[in-house]
Amino acid sequence: MMKTIIIRNGRIIDPANGRDEIGDLVIANGRIAEQSAIRDSKSAIAEIDAKGLIVAPGLIDMHVHLREPGFAHKETIASGARAAAAGGFTTVVCMPNTSPVADNPSTITWIKDRARDTASVNVLPTGAISKNLDGEELAPIASIVQSGVVAITDDGKCVQNHELMRRAVEYARMVGVPVLDHCQDYNLVGNGVVNEGEWSTLLGLSGWPAAGEEAMVMRSILLAELCDHHIHCQHISAAGSVRLIREARGRGVKISGEVCPHHVTLTDAAIQNFDTNCKMNPPLRTQRDIDAIIEGIADGTLTILCSDHAPHAGFEKEVEFDQAPFGIVGLETELGLFIDILVHQRKAISINRLIEMFTIEPAKLLKLDAGTLSIGAKADITLIDPGREWTVDVSKFESLSRNTPFHGWKLEGRAVRTIVRGETVWAL
């Protein structure tokens, strides 16, 4: 059925087309349409009042864990997609550390089918670099890519063997997908659970030194140069990583980095009561690291914002600190946290740049048909109220899990409506 929608009087920010103006956006047949579609419409026209709101291309979160198959008690593709919609995301990229691992075409096909049948937003899978994420032999990367992944990564794990990683990057170049690297040197990190520094010393917890990330960021830079192919460093947490990536990008190396909200809003002082919702990998670090990351975002060194949405059941997190799994949920808090800290508090970037980092930047890196309001594009749209004040309340989460340190935080800025292919999948 032909369906026409007009979103009226919003501030349309479409970085892909260099557009920032007050106006009306027309959707016809699930795609962005010319204004003339209104006149030509033969059926009723639905109206959405967007006065005072930003009308942005649907946001993309390129780093989430949806836990299905294998861990449906933490999250399902359906519940993760609902959480994404509630956070303003129309597209999410899910990591391969499921059970079974997404290191083969049949698992990836299963994920895509499941997403098609149950998810309210676009779910794009990634495939593993190494079989079973063991870092010992290559997964069938070309077959995985043919089954439809947007990147390869061993996220959660890190290939330690530089030679294997080198071959993976060369192979990925042949089949045309970027490599996403969770940068962690196992020897340096050992059994570290928190940032190595004052708080690990005080609390007697095993330290995870920044050098454990920086060493592998450097490895990624060297291999990106050697193989002339793009490597993207996931969840940057350390000042030294920002410096290395800045220097390499300055020389034209195909390297990039992403940032999660917790790494710019919390320091390792947050662990002082052994709160397992502050246990993440890489760990919370120091104010100096936060400042360096925000500087890296402001000067364009770090180009992508994401959540590393990592749901865990309450009973799994309610254990001794050493034994708790790493990670927090993030889809429903990240936009608010980033707008609040980066745009309002620190004034590091404009809301326009923030939207770029959630749209054209990941779309460009992963070669996605998304992140634009061009005529004819799929009508994936996020309406954002950048000045809206709200309080994080875990009881209202769509995610199956509640593991977040941000419960009760007062934030300024959030999504108020999420539209996928012209259909409103969530509204405040």
Partner 1 sequence: MTTARWNRKDLLGLRELSADEINLVLETADAFKQVGTREIKKVPALRGKTLVNFFIEPSTRTRTSFELAAFRLSADVINITASASSLSKGETLKDTAKILEANHVDIIVLRHSSAGAPQFLAERLRSSIINAGDGAHEHPTQGLLDTYTIREKKKRIEGLNVVIIGDILFSRVARSNIFALTKLGARVTVVGPSTLVPRDFEKLGVAVSYDIDKVLPTADVVNLLRIQHERQRKEYFPGVGEYIRLFGLTKERAKLLKPDCLIMHPGPINRGVEIDSEVADGNQSVILNQVTNGLAVRMAVLYLCGGIAT
Catalytic residues: 308
**Rounded to an integer, what distance in angstroms lies between the CA atom of residue 169 and that of residue 266?**
33
Yes or no: say if 75 and 400 are a contact pair by the CB < 8 Å rule. Answer: yes
- CB nearer partner 1, residue 174 or residue 319: 319
Which single residue is written with the structure tokens 């299905």?
A: 68
Whether the CB-CB separation of 268 and 280 falls below 8 Å is answered with no
Q: Kindly state the smallest distance separating residue 309's Cβ from partner 1, in Å.
A: 25
User: Of 276, 279, 272, 278, whose CA–CA distance to 314 is shortest?
Assistant: 276
Q: What secondary structure does DSSP assign to 310-353, as a single string?
A: ----HHHHSS-GGGSPP----TTTHHHHHIIIIIIIS--S-HHH
- Interface with partner 1 includes 186 (CB under 8 A)? no
Binding mask 253-292 for partner 1 (x = CB under 8 A): --------------------xx------------------
Stretch that binds partner 1, among 64-72, 173-181, 250-258, 313-321 (CB under 8 A): 313-321
Contacting partner 1 within 201-240 (CB under 8 A) = 201-205
Count of residues in contact with partner 1, rule CB under 8 A: 18
Under the binding rule (CB under 8 A), the answer on residue 322 touching partner 1 is yes
What does the alpha-carbon distance between residue 102 and residue 100 come to, in Å, rounded to a whole number?
A: 6
Question: Which tokens go with 333?
Answer: 């808090």
Would you count residue 326 as binding partner 1 (CB under 8 A)? no
Q: Which is nearer to partner 1, 105 or 325 (CB)?
A: 325
Spatial separation of the C-alpha atoms in residues 332 and 393, rounded to whole Å: 10
Q: Which of residues 197, 212, 257, 405 is near partner 1 by CB under 8 A?
A: 197
Count CA within 13 A, CB hemisphere, residue 258: 26
Candidates 72-80, 162-170, 198-206, 224-232; binding stretch for partner 1 (CB under 8 A):
198-206
Among 40, 47, 198, 369, contact with partner 1 (rule: CB under 8 A): 198
**Least distance to partner 1, CB of residue 205, Å:** 5
Give the binding site for partner 1 (CB under 8 A).
190, 197-198, 200-205, 273-274, 315, 318-323
